């Protein structure tokens, strides 16, 4: 049994799925059970758990070669932006995933977390409107997050 996604906040459930809770849920289950989530989805769920607004994931695989996905969200204020970044870092670190780099944490107008295969953009409302990443990367496909709930 593969229990890789431990301590991931459940989508919209507001609870933590720990390995012991997963064991209780799957007790008596026959055959392999995997709970692996793509790391960008773990980042989305972590951001949502800290009340990030306007979450958007862009699939860039057909548009560029430097990364596969952008996770974009809006924070209401610098402290919330830092809390979102901290929670994403915490959840991914538990999965053994560390960022290649992180920028903009202190001013928190635009926090960028580079995980190689995906980038997380945490922007203030003003920065999100000004830089308009959705327009700049309009050729990328938006991932339907509702279908993943």
Q: What is the pLDDT of residues 108-143, one digit of tens each?
A: 999 999 999 999 999 999 999 999 999 999 999 999
Mean pLDDT of the chain: 84
Instruction: Give the 3-state secondary structure percentages of the chain, helix then strand then coil, rounded to 5.
Output: 35, 25, 40
Q: Is the pLDDT score of 86 beyond 70?
A: yes
Confidence band, pLDDT 50/70/90 cuts, at residue 11: very low
Where are the domains positioned within the chain? 38-148
The region of weakest confidence among 14-23, 28-37, 53-62, 77-86 is: 14-23
Confidence band, pLDDT 50/70/90 cuts, at residue 8: very low
Q: Is the pLDDT score of 4 beyond 50?
A: no
> Could you tell me if 141 and 62 are in contact, meaning their C-beta atoms sit under 8 angstroms apart?
yes
Tokens 């959705």 correspond to: 134
pTM above 0.95, yes or no: no
H or E stretch covering 98:
none
Query: Check: CATH 3.30.70.930 for 38-148?
Result: no
Query: Tens of pLDDT along 41-58?
Result: 999 999 999 999 999 999
Percent of all residues in the chain with a pLDDT value above 90, rounded to a whole number: 72
d(CA 59, CA 64): 10
Residue 35: predicted pLDDT? 56
Chain-centroid distance, C-alpha 71: 6
Which residues, other chains included, contact 18 with Cβ-Cβ below 8 Å and sequence gap of 6+?
Answer: 6, 7
């Amino acid at each position: 049994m593969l229990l890789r996604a431990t301590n991931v906040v459940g989508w919209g459930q507001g609870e933590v799925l720990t390995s012991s809770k997963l064991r209780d849920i799957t007790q008596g289950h026959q055959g392999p059970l995997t709970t692996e989530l793509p790391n960008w989805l773990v980042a989305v769920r972590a951001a949502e758990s800290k009340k990030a607004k306007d979450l958007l994931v862009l699939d860039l695989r057909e548009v560029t070669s430097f990364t596969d996905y952008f996770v974009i969200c809006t924070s209401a204020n610098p402290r919330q932006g830092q809390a979102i970044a901290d929670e994403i870092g915490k959840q991914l670190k538990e999965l053994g995933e560390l960022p290649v780099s992180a920028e903009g944490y202190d001013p928190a107008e635009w926090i960028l977390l580079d995980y190689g295969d995906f980038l997380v953009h945490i922007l203030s409302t003003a920065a999100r409107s000004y830089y308009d990443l959705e327009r700049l990367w309009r050729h990328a496909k938006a991932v339907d997050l509702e279908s993943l709930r």
